[in-house]
Amino acid sequence: MFDADDIRYSPAEERPPWELSPNGRVREHFSCRKVDDTTAGYCHEVEQHKQARIQAEARRSNVQNDIQRQRAAVRQRMAQEREDARRRMVEAREAAQRRRAQSGMEQPGNGNPPHDPRGDRYIYNDLPYGAPPAAPGRPKQKRSSLTGILLIVIIAVLVTIFVGFYTETYSGSDTPFSAEEEAEPDDWTPPWAEGGTPWRFTPEDEDEKTAPDDEKTALPRAELNGALTLDIHSAEGRQPLSYQALYEQCLPSTVSITVYTEDSGGTGTGIILTEDGYILTCNHVVSDGVTCTVTTFDDTVYDALLVGGDPQTDLAVLKIDAEGLKPAEFGDSDELTVGDEALAIGDPLGVELRGTLTNGIISAINRNVTVNTYSMTLLQTTAALNSGNSGGPLLNIYGQVVGVNNMKMISNAVTVEGLGFAVPTSVVKDIIPILSAEGKVSRPVLGITCAGIDAETAERQGEPTKGLLVSSINEASNAGEQGLRVGDFIFSVNGTEVVSVEEVKSILSDAQIGDDVALVVLRPDDDGGLEELEITITLVDQADLK
């Protein structure tokens, strides 16, 4: 998860970032969805997001009440119109019968047809022999009925618009080719009840992957042959390239990746690391895959083996049996400044559009994003990224790879444009040697999911105390065996009071896997009091979490 991580976050389905506490107040959680098109995530500004979510809930409630009132008024008005129409029809029939009786129309032999035994409920379209005119008011009845139907249609459209405004929809995996479409849920749940936010981060591929790569993937493993070293080159003194020259130079170093799961599949993009077939891509592109193929720019297809993956940094390394490939040149992301030109090459929406070049700028540097429990420090770019771009290169104007594209921000509630993200090469150069040598990145964690509650938040939400609220315990941790429970408040770690995950990370920054951590835990009782407990937990490897 984080470097020297101390907290194991759970998937958003297990613990949403927001829920109602027993006293009916909104409770905040630091749980987030994976970087992909079928799930949701959010940035660190959780307090502002929470207020926006509460206001959205109130607005939606008001809208629903207004719609219900409008529906009731329309039903009442239509019922009254039907009753008035029936009354007018009865009066018209009676008036027609009186006119016929007075004029002698009912007597045969006077040039008029005999009385129609079917009664007066039928309308005459032509009027020979002085047949009675259409019942007065009938055209008005038609207009009233049409008005009611039109009102119902308008109300239905308004309901659809408002429900679509507040409901998050998920785009699915990177150009998936599944045999079956997933059914829509019957009951709609507002996004704030599931930890939804006005926006979400979506990687360009695959469904949510939360467990470590070696736990979840079924891809065959490549033999580890030692650490790869990623050479980073400075852009100082180089001449900018034209877009045409840049594309011609960088396309041969970009590959298409196709991943097959047990019942579906998806696509992504990769970057050639070495001449003998080491490929860099995003971890979420290949996790959960059963088989994987890599297609080079000359349309040669290779079977790929997994060298290693790290879900926290969203990086993975593959190996194909090839020679003579053209490795990409990697630049120094630390040299970037906001406003620098940035370009992306990849397979948006699948291999049909492979090798697409998009351009933009670097719009932010060191952007902290928390997605599906993992905190990442990413480059932000306006270069267009879509499903299928994950794992592809983000390039500077000199043709150097300065980032690995891995996600974008989208929304069903507000307009979001030009917010793409990439893992900077400053992170890539530290992770690749570890993945290539060990196949995974080991980090010490407590194996629990917590939400930070400071004093102000505790008072506002009606929580009994400040601290870290335990929301889940991973079975790979011994926290449950030592007596920790969901709903407990961690008051201090190794003798230091804590109210946030970042504080725990700082305290355990030098800790190792297997070290014991002393916790002071406050447990609410049935009488509204707090029971103080001392619990010792052993740090576990993040890669061992389930």
> Annotated active-site positions, please?
284, 314, 390
User: Which residues lie below 8 Å from residue 297, measured CB to CB, with a gap of 6+?
Assistant: 251, 252, 254, 255, 355
Distance CA 118, CA 367 (A): 81
Task: Give the number of other CB atoms < 10 A from CB of residue 493.
Answer: 22
SS3 category, 189: coil
Assess contact for 356 and 346: CB atoms under 8 A.
yes
Q: Compute CA distances 189 → 170, 181, 199, 341, whole Å.
A: 14, 20, 16, 41
Element counts in the chain: helices (H) and strands (E) = 8, 26
CB 357 within 8 A of CB 344: yes
> Taking a C-beta distance cutoff of 8 angstroms, is the pair 172, 37 a contact?
yes
CB 412 within 8 A of CB 283: no
Calpha distance 413→411 (Å, rounded): 5
DSSP state of 329: P
Please list, residue by residue across 353-388, b when 16 or more beta carbons sit within 10 angstroms of its beta carbon and e when fewer do: ebebbbbbebbebebebbbbbbbbebbbbbbbbbbb
Phi, psi of 284 (to 5 degrees): -70, -15
Eight-state DSSP code of residue 197: -
End-to-end CA, the chain: 13
d(CA 228, CA 272): 13
Tell me whether strands 448-453 and 341-346 are parallel, antiparallel or unpaired.
unpaired
Task: Determine the 3-state secondary structure of 236 from DSSP.
Answer: coil
> How is residue 393 annotated by DSSP?
E
